[in-house]
Structure 1
Amino acid sequence: MSQDVYRISKSIREKFKVFPLKPEDLARLTNVGLEHFAYLKEVKAINFSVFFRVNMELLEFITPENFSHELVDRIIAARNKEYQNLDICVRGIDFPKFQALVDTVRSKKIATLMEKDPHLDRKTMQIFGNLSGASQMIVRGGISASVAKKAKASASELIDGLMDSHVAIGTLSRMVLADSTLYDHSASVAMLAGIIGKNLMGMSKIDAERCARGGLYHDVGKTCVPNSILNKPGKFTPEEFEIMKTHTTLGYEELKKAILEGAPIEEEVALVTLEHHEKFSGGGYPYGKTGRREDRADGISIYARVVTIADVYSALLMKRVYKDAYDQNQTLEIMRGSADRDYDPSIWKKFEKSVDKSQVHYKELDSRPVDQSKGRIFLMDDDGFHQMGNKKKTNVS
């Protein structure tokens, strides 16, 4: 593993405030993901401070008084390097301010995107926004009874409001290609898993909801993996890959602990975090399971087999520090290359057909003239989405 560490230089110490940290101080800080932190490039001012946590020192790098996009870029550049001892964080009491800013920027981006692409499905975007809210609660707050209830409510809303699978899949795919900053991987996996379960596999509402919640929780263990590994732009070393693989067992342990503390999460849902990197023909991790649990005691659960396909599809669509984004066709071709080994064929064939159908559907829509009189913009707020007329503008300070 790379041994690069970030060191606070003398000039930085002279220019910025540096505070010593005690172990008890860590609980008063909230780490901020790089993808959401980049939203600060879209605003003109902030009302909170942004810190670098370097080992047991806290560097106050951005304040409301010195805020600039140049400083934001400097933090992004530093975070993109393989430093093991560096985190971006805000005070816990300031995190709601940061989240409100992110939500405002996202709302503007969604409105702009829907103006540019009138074929995006509004209902899909609305449900995705609500799932993303649940996803962010899981990331920043861990698993608790209240977070699990929010996840359950969001999954229920998804299954109750499901539209045609090819429309939803096409909208998600077009959204990430148009503006990758809007994409929330766990929310996307949850929606895709719910679509596969309910629309493609004909599952009951209970089982389809379990697929969706498994998607929301599937990567919860990554909060225990160092950012230097999660954000590494290059290939993992064997040692780094072993650490990355622990997110499956660590995530499962976290959900099991939450269950014992009263969180409304079923064992079958928790198992998705453990099994979503298992491969249908073996060779996956952490246990190298094969086949269907319905057929063999050591097989992979139906919920994990669904989430595995949703996870790979979503991950390939996304632009990451270590890869470019792929369009639907490229993503499908890559998945076809290992489909006979990695995925349950009874699920994969239905999903593959639906993605193909979504491409045909949107190609046909794109060939039609757009009726601008039917355009609408929908913005997210605390209560969901609200409608605006086409001519009304939104501003983000």
Structure 2
Amino acid sequence: MKAVTIDALRPGDQLAKPIIDAYGRILLQKEVIFTQKLIKRLKEFNFRYVYIEDALSEDIMPQNIIDEQLRVEAISKIRQTFKIFDQYNEKEHKQYVLERSVKEVQETVNEIINVVNEHDEILSIMSDIFMFDDYLYNHSVNVTVYTLVLARELNFSERQIEEIGIGAMLHDIGKMHVPKSIIDKPGKLTDMEFEVVKEHTTYGYEILKQFKQIPQAVANCAYQHHERLDGSGYPLGLKESNIHEYAKIMAVSDVFDAVTSNRVYRNAFLPHEGLEILYSGSGTQYSQEYIELFKRHISIYPNGSYVALSDGRKGIIAHQTKVPDRPVIRILEEQEHEIHTSQVYDLNLAFNPSVVITECNTTPS
């Protein structure tokens, strides 16, 4: 199968992978034939791309470390927890409700930790497709997965890994206090609106620090994930030595997922563009060590994506190698001419260092 942008989708194309929403409901079944009406509906719901059947890439499969069932369960737990924490009042709510919610978050994080520990291969970007309205919760899952991969590679203790996992899962809980009209505004925020958005870090910290079941380090994840090494971040303008290490790690995961996700006010950047954004702030805003670690363990060219190479060839990402930016390419075009189906071949960039990917998109040119 191959990934194509919604704009490149054509009537008659056949869906290769079911599309589900963040509640686990199937929106479109596998093998559905797209019509103009269906394509229009996907555009209205801000879908970024879909996987379609293709004879030349029928053996290419998306590589997701988190299966759909676990992701849906995690999103459900995050949604429920955000609401309980945000609305909790000790005079109106029973303590056991809060304790149960904290335990469920902990259990979900440990499930993801187990999955991450079982997969030593390169982690593909989070390419499952969910509806835009659930961005906040899906983003929280993605940031958790990315952060746990980095924590594992940094040889954190079991306690530290669990703490940073819970911190990542709850890092945006303060956005429950930001007016939805601002969160969902399609245009550029005014200076005053942006100041309101920035308050989500403080709101999140205030929510989490009041509960004894939540470690201080977890509350700091909510408070400091927008702080930057050079002091240009918020809410306190902390500099490198004063920023909690968990927050420095999460900053890399948070920014990458945020810029590579579709938002109401802009289209998503491609994964390699997201990495370039991180590198533009390497050593000044973000830790260079953690960016390099991210690059070594997170695939920025997902299977099924269409790419152009420096020697003029074009093709589809067939599968990953041990080097994230050197995948295997199914070559479909040479010097602007399509190759006959009988002559299509795979090129392993790990063994061809002189050839580099110059463009990545989810649709052929």
What TM-score do the two structures reach when normalised by structure 1?
A: 0.56
Question: Does the residue aligned with 1:367 lie in a helix, a strand or coil?
Answer: strand
- In the TM superposition, what are the counterparts of 1:1-397 in structure 2 within 5 Å? 42=27, 118-121=61-64, 123-142=66-85, 144-162=98-116, 163-164=118-119, 167-168=122-123, 170-172=124-126, 174-176=127-129, 184-198=138-152, 200-257=153-210, 259-260=211-212, 264-292=213-241, 299-355=242-298, 360-361=320-321, 364=327, 367=330
Report how many aligned residue pairs link the two structures: 257
Taking a change above 3 Å as real, the CA distance of residues 232 and 274 of structure 1, as seen in their structure-2 partners, is: same
Taking a change above 3 Å as real, the CA distance of residues 123 and 179 of structure 1, as seen in their structure-2 partners, is: same
Q: CA deviation at 1:160?
A: 2.2
Gaps of 5+ in 1: 1-34, 44-68, 81-108, 293-298, 369-397
* Deviation digits for residues 227-248 of structure 1 (CA, Å, limit 9, x no counterpart): 1110111221111111111101
Contact 1:185–1:314 (CA under 8 A) maintained in structure 2: yes
* Deviation digits for residues 34-60 of structure 1 (CA, Å, limit 9, x no counterpart): x979999949xxxxxxxxxxxxxxxxx
Give the Cα separation in 1 of the matches to 2:76 and 2:115.
Answer: 17
Q: CA deviation at 1:313?
A: 0.8
Gaps of 5+ in 2: 1-19, 29-36, 87-97, 303-319, 332-365
Give the Cα separation in 2 of the matches to 1:284 and 1:331.
Answer: 19
Contact 1:175–1:182 (CA under 8 A) maintained in structure 2: no
Read off the aligned partner of 2:78 and give its amino acid letter.
S
Q: CA deviation at 1:330?
A: 1.3
Question: Does the residue aligned with 2:240 lie in a helix, a strand or coil?
Answer: coil
Read off the aligned partner of 2:150 and give its amino acid letter.
I
Taking a change above 3 Å as real, the CA distance of residues 37 and 310 of structure 1, as seen in their structure-2 partners, is: closer
Question: Does the residue aligned with 1:324 lie in a helix, a strand or coil?
Answer: coil
Contact 1:166–1:358 (CA under 8 A) maintained in structure 2: no
Give the Cα separation in 2 of the matches to 1:208 and 1:254.
Answer: 22
Taking a change above 3 Å as real, the CA distance of residues 320 and 202 of structure 1, as seen in their structure-2 partners, is: same
Q: CA deviation at 1:136?
A: 1.7
Superposition RMSD in Å: 3.7
Residue in 1 that maps onto 2:362: none
Contact 1:316–1:326 (CA under 8 A) maintained in structure 2: yes
Give the Cα separation in 1 of the matches to 2:207 and 2:63.
Answer: 36
Question: Does the residue aligned with 1:340 lie in a helix, a strand or coil?
Answer: coil
Give the Cα separation in 1 of the matches to 2:68 and 2:249.
Answer: 22
Contact 2:139–2:257 (CA under 8 A) maintained in structure 1: yes
Taking a change above 3 Å as real, the CA distance of residues 119 and 231 of structure 1, as seen in their structure-2 partners, is: closer
Contact 1:159–1:205 (CA under 8 A) maintained in structure 2: no
Contact 1:278–1:285 (CA under 8 A) maintained in structure 2: yes
Q: CA deviation at 1:280?
A: 1.3
